[in-house]
Structure 1
Amino acid sequence: MFKYLRYVFNDHFVLALLFIFGGLGLGYSNYLKSLPLHADYFYAKPLVALILVVTLQVGNLATLLKSADIVFISPKQAEMPSYLNKAFNHSLLFAWGFDILVMLCLAPFLLYATTFTSIQLIYLGLVVLSLKYLLLKRQYLALYQHKFAQLSYKLLLDVFFSLLICLGALYFNGLYFVLITAALGIYVERMVKQIQTQEVFLWEVAIANEQARMLVLYRFFNLFTDVPFLQAAAKRRKYLDRFLPRPKPKHPYHYLYWRALVRNGEYSDLIIRLNLLGAIILYFVHEPWLAFLVSILFIYMLGFQLMALYRHFDEIVFTHLYPVTEKQKLQAFQRVLQVTLGISALLFAVINSLQTNTWLLGGEIAVVLFLEIIGLTGPYLKSRLGKRA
Structure 2
Amino acid sequence: MEQLFRKRRLAFQKRQLKYLPYVFNDHFVLVLMFLLGYLLYQYSQLLAHFPKNRLAVILVLISLVQFLLGFGQPATYLEASDSHYLLVKEEEVLLEIKKSGKDSFILWGTFQTLCLVLLAPIFLKLGLSVVSIGIVILLLLVVKWFIQDYKINQLKTPTGLNWKLAIEKERHRQQKILTFYSLFTNVKGITSGFKERPYLTGLLSKLPQKSTLFWTHLYARAFLRSADYLGLFIRLLLLSSLALWFIQPPYLAAILASLCNYLLLFQLLALYHHFDYHYLTSLYPVTPTLKKKNLLLFLRGISLVLWLVEMLLSHSLLNIIIITCVFLLLNLFYLPYKLKNIID
Q: Does 1:130 align with 2:137?
A: no
Matches within 5 A, 1:81-160: 81-112=94-125, 114-145=126-157
Letter matched to residue 160 of structure 2:
V
| Higher deviation after alignment, 298-307 or 272-281 | 272-281
Does the residue aligned with 2:72 lie in a helix, a strand or coil?
coil
Q: 1:106 & 1:230 partners in 2: Cα distance?
A: 36
Structure 1 residue 9 and structure 2 residue 27: aligned? no
The yes-or-no answer on 1:237 pairing with 2:197 is: yes
- The 8 Å contact of residues 250 and 318 in structure 2, kept in 1 or not, is answered as no
Cα distance in 1 for residues equivalent to 2:67 and 2:145: 15
Q: CA deviation at 1:69?
A: 4.9
The residue that corresponds to 1:76 in the other structure is 89
Kindly state the Cα deviation for residue 142 of structure 1 after the two structures are TM-superposed: 1.6
* Structure 2 CA distance for aligned equivalents of residues 69 and 386 of structure 1: 42
d(CA) in 2 for partners of 1:46 and 1:375?
A: 41
**Gap regions ≥5 residues in structure 1:** 146-197, 354-360
**Match of residue 72 from structure 2:** 59
1:22 equivalent in alignment to 2:33? no
Task: Name 1:47's counterpart in structure 2.
Answer: 60
Separation in structure 2 between the aligned mates of residue 284 and residue 28 of structure 1, nearest angstrom: 15
**Deviation at 1:289?**
1.9
Q: Work out the percentage of aligned pairs sharing the same amino acid.
A: 30
Q: Is the 8 A contact 2:98 2:152 kept in 1?
A: no
Structure 1 equivalent of residue 275 of structure 2: 313
Task: Answer whether contact 1:248 1:255 (CA < 8 A) is retained.
Answer: no
Say which is worse superposed, 315-324 or 118-127, in terms of deviation: 315-324
TM-score (norm 1): 0.76
Question: Which structure has the bigger radius of gyration?
Answer: 1
For 1:143 and 1:345, locate their aligned partners in 2 and report how far apart those are by CA, in whole Å. Answer: 45
For 2:86, the aligned partner's letter is I
Aligned partners of 1:32, 1:282: CA distance in 2, in Å?
24
CA distance in 2 between counterparts of 1:17 and 1:212 reads: 27
Gaps of 5+ in 2: 1-15
Match of 1:265, SS?
coil
Q: TM-score, normalised by structure 2?
A: 0.85
In structure 2, relative to structure 1, the CA distance for the partners of 1:82 and 1:256 (3 Å cut) is: closer
* Total equivalences in the alignment: 326
Match among 232, 244, 266 for residue 270 of structure 1: 232
* Alignment-mate amino acid for residue 207 of structure 1: I
Q: 1:123-152 CA deviation, whole Å, 9 max, x = no partner?
A: 11111211111100111222224xxxxxxx
Give the structure 1 partner of residue 163 of structure 2. Answer: 203
1:287-318 deviation per Cα after TM superposition (whole angstroms, max 9, x unaligned):
11211211121111111111222333344444
1:296 aligns with 2:309: no
Q: How far 1:218 sits from its partner (Å)?
A: 2.3
| Alignment match of 1:365 (pick from 297, 315, 319) | 319
Aligned residue identity for 1:95: W
Q: Secondary structure at the match of 1:51?
A: helix
Equivalent position SS for 2:156? coil
Tell me the distance in 2 between the aligned counterparts of 1:13 and 1:225.
13
In 1, Cα distance between equivalents of 2:191 and 2:323: 31
CA distance 1:143–1:258, change in 2 (3 Å):
closer
Report deviation, 1:369.
2.3
